[in-house]
């Protein structure tokens, strides 16, 4: 996927698949985020941004916090 950017950020507080889904749903509602994959086992989220996305790492951390979890 030429031009795509992928970020993996640590996230604490997720304990199950429902937690993962909550984080993914919150992130994938944002324009510019084309995909999000959360893992409570690995305590992280991987976000794929479109090539013209203006979403910053700080934006992603705020979305995760607003969903009820802690970017580490």
pLDDT in tens, 34-51: 999 999 999 999 999 998
Provide the whole-model pTM. 0.92
Give the CA diameter of the chain.
Answer: 34
Instruction: Give the distance, in angstroms, between the CA of residue 15 and the centroid of all CA atoms in the same chain.
Output: 16
Residue 52 is predicted with a pLDDT of: 85
Residue 11 · residue 64 · CB < 8 Å? yes
Domains of the chain (ranges; CATH) run 5-71 (3.30.70.100)
> DSSP for 11-63?
EE---SHHHHHHHHHHHHTSTTEEEEEEETTTTEEEEEE-TT----HHHHHHH
- pLDDT band at 1; cut points 50, 70, 90: low
């Amino acid at each position: 996927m030429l031009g795509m950017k992928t970020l993996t950020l640590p996230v604490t507080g997720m304990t199950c698949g429902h937690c993962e889904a909550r984080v993914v749903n919150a992130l994938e509602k944002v324009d510019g985020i084309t995909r999000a994959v959360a893992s409570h086992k690995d305590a992280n989220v991987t976000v794929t941004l479109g090539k013209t996305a203006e979403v910053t790492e700080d934006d992603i951390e705020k979305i995760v916090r607003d969903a009820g979890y802690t970017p580490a």
